[in-house]
Chain A
Amino acid sequence: MMALRSTALAAAGLFAFLLFWEAMPRLGLINPAFLPPPSTIPAAFLNEVRLGVWGEAVLSSLSHYVTGLGVGAGAGIALGLLSGMFRWFEAATAWIVRLLRPIPGLAWVPFAIIWFGVQPEAAVFIIAIGVFWIVFFATQGAVRGVDRDLVEVAQAFGFGSPWARLTKILLPAATPGILVGLRTALGQAWMAVVAAEIFGVPGVGARMMQASSLLSTDIVVVYMLTMAALYGLFDTAFVALQGWLLRWRA
């Protein structure tokens, strides 16, 4: 009953929001060229799809997203594990981390363009950097936090090598913490996708910039909502995967 009521309230809230949004340009309170009413969005969306632009932009953005996420998360997990397992590694990298970590991912845009040009690789690079630090710290912390008693179990059964310790205990025990980091990274990576593409790498961000220079704000909104939908999709899928991976938890 409560759930039903809150769903009804949420729907009513969204409806009121759309109504307000529709009213502002329609009543002439805002220039429709600056804020297109929501009723014009479906037509703009269908038009983009018909032109084939939407599919193309979404596909290239997704490929940047997935590749960047894969590279950044892969490196973050690998180095985070090393740093969590070996004190000497953490010590040796401590100041490098302190130096590089505060640099925002977007500050790498100039180098991304110099090194890779306005190419997909540049977008992948920017995304990967943003993802890397989140996953690195999540992994390092998760490994550090593994119950030492469980590590002893592995030792007591003769699994004393670092590799056995990693695969049999540390990695599975750290998985919940790593997944929390990955989920944060999932959101962070979307921001990086748009940012990287706004500099011209073809994709959703580039198409938005193109549309806005023509003042086709309805198209801009189409892609804003597209990103919201894609992120929602990824996040939902990730939560499902997370639930399955952590099905052993109470």
Chain B
Amino acid sequence: MTPPPAGSLLVATDLRKAYGPTTALDGAGFSIHPGEVVAVMGPSGSGKSTLLHCLAGIVPPDSGSITYNGREMATMNDAQRSALRRSDFGFVFQFGQLVPELTCVENVALPLRLNGVSRKEAERTALSWMARLEVDDLARKRPGEVSGGQGQRVAVARALVTGPRVLFADEPTGALDSLNGERVMELLTEAARSTNAAVVLVTHEARVAAYSDREIVVRDGKSRDMERVI
């Protein structure tokens, strides 16, 4: 197996994962550098979301290795992995990620509040991120009062508010029209690059993948790094 490039922040090798009789990952690998945007592509059911969940420490692989910043994730207990997800990882999904009872700014400030930051300080930081994502005017609205595209930008602001080193985005524009999807991708990648965050972008849309620096293709649980092939 080809060794991952030097300086990788997150590296996975020979990942295997099965759900009962169904094999989701069958020797998949992955690596990403700080500040890099990598698209994970593949048909439905190919294993790309499972790969993201394993990389993010949400689901443990049956075997294989995942190292984050030089540390083997299998050696961490659940509490340590949870702490890592809160401090170093950010998440954007396709649907239903904002808490409907909270205002948009409270949603964005939530990860900071969970980390013990005061309300005032958390909301100040949240507002600055909302301004970068061009949704600061929605601060006092609730998620039910904003459009899908606006809500997704709020979700991106929330994912970036803690200054994560890796942003995991699973079909982040899947529920948006072309124009809104495009704007979300522009703002997401600009914000991530400005903070040198790595972005793991799971998508089946080529126009979304075109915002990445390179792509890996997952098929039948196996991954293929196209940059190293060409």
A, B in one complex: no
Binding site for A on B (CB under 8 A): none
Binding site for B on A (CB under 8 A): none
